[in-house]
Structure formats: C-alpha cells, structure tokens
Structure 1
Amino acid sequence: MSKTDRLFRLLHLIRGLRPPVTAARLATAMEVSERTIYRDIDSLRAAGARIEGEAGLGYTMIEDPALPPQTFTQIELEALTLGLADVNQSGDADLAQAANDALVKILATLPERQQRQAMHAVNLVHRFYRPATPTIDMTLLREAMWAEEALDIGYRDLKDTRTERRIYPLALSYHDRSVMLLAWCCKREDFRSFHVTRIDGYRNTGESFRPRRVPLLREFIGHMRTRDRAAEVGPA
C-alpha cells in the first residue's frame, strides 16, 4: 500500500471508529507499527487535518472545512450514486430533490477524474413500482421526528375504519410499494407501523418525547428482527 493510500485509510479509520482511538488499535487495523501510525498522524496534521489527542491517550478527528476535497474509491462512488438514484425513484418529491442536490454538491468537491466516474457509473436503478404518493406533507412529518415531538394523527386502517391516535414518530421505512411510519402508539401503548397514505391528517402537539426516540426505535427494530427470525424458522 502506498503512503497516500495508507493516509486516506488512516483518515477513514480515525473518522469512523469510536473516539478516542488508540495508536495500537489503528496499528492493528492498518497492519503497520505504532511508530508508523505516529508518523502518519503527523503527516495528516501537516496537511491540514485537525486530529486531537496524543500517544497513550488516543486520537479524535475534528471535522475541518480546511481539509482537502473528499476522495472516494471507484466502488464507493458507485455505491453513493446508486443509493442516491434509488432515493430519487422511491422517495417523495422533497426527498428526491434532496438526493439530486446532494449529488451535485458531492460531485462539485471531487477531482475531475472522479466526477467522470460518478457521472458514468455502471450501476443503475430502475423500479417497476414506486410507493404511492402520500397526501400529507412528508417534510413536516420528518421535521416532527427530527424534533422528537409527538403527533396527533387521523388514520384509516385496512378496513377503512378511522381512528385518532397520539404517536411518537420514530422513523420512515421504505418498501417496494409503500412507505411505513414506525411509531409508538400512545393509545395502544405499543409499537405500530402506519401506512403513510392512510394518514389523513396530523397536527403538532408540542409534547416532546426526547430523548426516548433512539431507544424506542432500537427496541422496535429488535422486535421486528425477532419476528422475522421466528417466521423463517416456522412453527415447531
């Protein structure tokens, strides 16, 4: 591995591992000596990277706008363009526009050679089916999740029975033909998945459920994985 490739790999590890990351851990991951790690960290700092810490204590990467433009491998560019293209096809109008805008911003930071690679990616997306267009404002729904604020919603189930619910919105889950809102239902005191196309109205309540969103979502996903494993095994 050339020194340039090694420095990019080291930068990626320092950014990605839980800080502070020790030189010993970096040396093991890089398969080099700790002395090499110390020299390479000095090189990264000289190039403008803000890396806090020292030998024996560990290192933390501080993001800095003075860093040079991000560099991706070709397969990383393929993954990036594929993911954003999928968002463009499966997301609502605001999300699709955000994917296009994000790609433009990312391309603008890349060297010319990598811009060409991204624009002529070999992986393409074509979905024969798209989720139905929701009638509610998805941006406002996402904002409620970002703010960790409870919502009062009107919901029609598969039998077209309408109910009023107070929910803690946790996440949006995108499926082949539908988008589901994962939430804690205060009425049922349990987790529920709501088809967003069956939500016929909602209002902000001003009730915060911070900081419960992350643990609730983690628990919800755990329940779904347990259910899926049980379905794969089948009845005893």
Structure 2
Amino acid sequence: MRKASRLFEIIQILRLADHPITAQQIAEKLEVTQRSIYRDIAALQAMRVPIEGERGIGYILRPGFHLPPLMFTAEETEAIVLGMALTKRTADPELREASARVMDKIAAAVPGPLREAIVSRSLYAWGRVAETPEAIDFSMIRRAIRDEEKLDIDYVNEQQQATTRRIRPIAVIHYAEAEVVVGWCELRQGIRNFRVDRIRDCRATGVHFRREGDRLRKLWVAGWETGTKS
C-alpha cells in the first residue's frame, strides 16, 4: 500500500472508531509494521490532523475534523449500494472485502438522509456467490493489468487441449457463470478470452508491455470478442 493511501486509511480507521485504537491494531488492519504506523501518525500530526494519544495506549481523532465531503444524489448512492452488492458475489475475495470497506467509508462521509439508503439494505443482488479459484490469484491479475506485466498461464480449452500461453492481460470480465481474463495471446497473436476455471496455473513474468494496455483495450472494444476463444 502506498504511503498516501495508508495515511488516508488511518484517518478512516480513527474516524470510524468509538474508542482509542492502538498502533498495533492499525498495523494489523493495514498489514504493515507497527513502526510504520508510528511514523505515519507523526506525519499526520505534522499536517495538523488532530490525532491524540500515545504509544501503548491508543489514538483517537479529535471531533470536528472532516475530509472533503462526498456528494451523491439518492440515485447515485443507490447505484453504489447495488454495485457493491454485485461485487460481493464475484470470485475475487479481495474485491469482496474492498466492497465492504467502501460502504463503511461512504456511510461515514455522507449526510444522514443518504446514509439511510446505505444502511437500510433495501437493494439486493441475488444469485450464487462465485467460488474463488485455487489456481490463480485475482489480485496478481489485477496488478498485472495495472502494471502492464505479462503473465504465463497453463490453459485447458473446451476441447481439453492443454497449452502454456504468455499473455498481456488487459481486462477481467465477471459473468454470472464464470470469470474471464482478456489478454493479447502471444501464441495466437490476437486478443483471446480465458475462462478462469480453465486456467491451471498463472505466473507473473516480470516482463512488461508498457504503454500498450490502452491500445489493446481499444482493439478489444472495437472487435468485442466476447467468446472464450483459445
């Protein structure tokens, strides 16, 4: 987690807390060292964020401190609620956890009437919760897409033919029945869709395709190859 994001997360944790939170508790939530939290809190205090407390006892955020408000209409808030409900049904465990954190942050920031739309749970997304695949790590795939890093995958197609591919991942599609990774396949020299449940292994390569991602996504959208070619 980048420092800027971590500082924001610390503020959010303290805003939502109703009692002092120790540096160790914050460190466990953010999966960093306790020493990092001490440095981050000192940095926030230097920025005049009103954090009070001390080591071994805990920290609180003095009332009256506000981040810039999130301004949503009722319809926009309901769209977010439904979107997060759908995210909770995907096979990506990190996104499922992130959706819950999003709702907590929005609930803490929006005015009372809009908060009701979040906590009332009046919108639902029915259907199965997708099973998390054992052979791949969704967080690695999403990171590879952001960083434009090539992946090596062991793939079995619909005819049960096994191949090893090097792909340039550009998108993930979440269908009701399956997840699909979209990428430029160097074996087939074209954009292909790979069903996650047919990927037997997925490995980061450390080889990048910098500044190609947007071009490949435009090529994909232009052709709308929505099948599961292999």
8 A contact 1:90–1:131 mirrored in 2: yes
More helix by share: 1
Contact 2:77/2:117 (CA < 8 Å) preserved in 1? yes
Q: Which runs of 5+ in 2 are unaligned?
A: 1-64
Which whole-Å deviations, capped at 9, do the CAs of 1:160-183 have from their partners, x for residues lacking one?
A: 221011100010001110000000
CA distance in 1, matches of 2:130, 2:105: 27
For residue 152 of structure 1, give the secondary structure of its aligned residue in structure 2: strand
What CA RMSD, in Å, does the superposition of the two structures yield over aligned residues? Answer: 2.1
Deviation at 1:66, TM superposition (A): 7.6
SS of equivalent to 2:197 = helix
Return the alpha-carbon distance in structure 2 between the equivalents of residues 139 and 122 of structure 1: 30
Distance in 2 separating the partners of 1:201 and 1:83: 30
Map Cα deviations across residues 137-193 of structure 1 (whole Å, 9 max, x no partner).
Answer: 111111111110011111111122210111000100011100000000001101100
Aligned AA for 2:180? Answer: M
How much has 1:121 moved relative to structure 2?
A: 4.9
**CA, structure 1 residues 159+130, in 2 after alignment: closer, same or farther (shift >3 Å)?**
farther
CA distance in 2, matches of 1:211, 1:105: 33
Partner of 2:106: 106
CA deviation string 1:91-133 (max 9, x = no partner) = 4211111111111111111122221222125332111x44443
State the distance in 2 between where 1:124 and 1:66 align: 31
TM-score normalised according to structure 2 size: 0.65
What is the aligned partner in structure 2 of residue 134 from structure 1?
133
Paired residues for 1:149-168 under 5 Å: 149-168=149-168
Question: Who is 2:170 aligned against?
Answer: 170
Q: Which residue of 2 aligns with 1:75?
A: 75
Q: Structure 1 stretches of 5 or more lacking a match?
A: 1-64, 229-236
CA contact (8 A) 2:87 2:99 kept: yes
The separation in 2 between residues aligned to 1:209 and 1:68, in whole angstroms, is 37
Letter in 2 for 1:134: P
What is the total number of aligned residue pairs between the two structures? 162
Q: Percent identity?
A: 31
What TM-score do the two structures reach when normalised by structure 1? 0.64
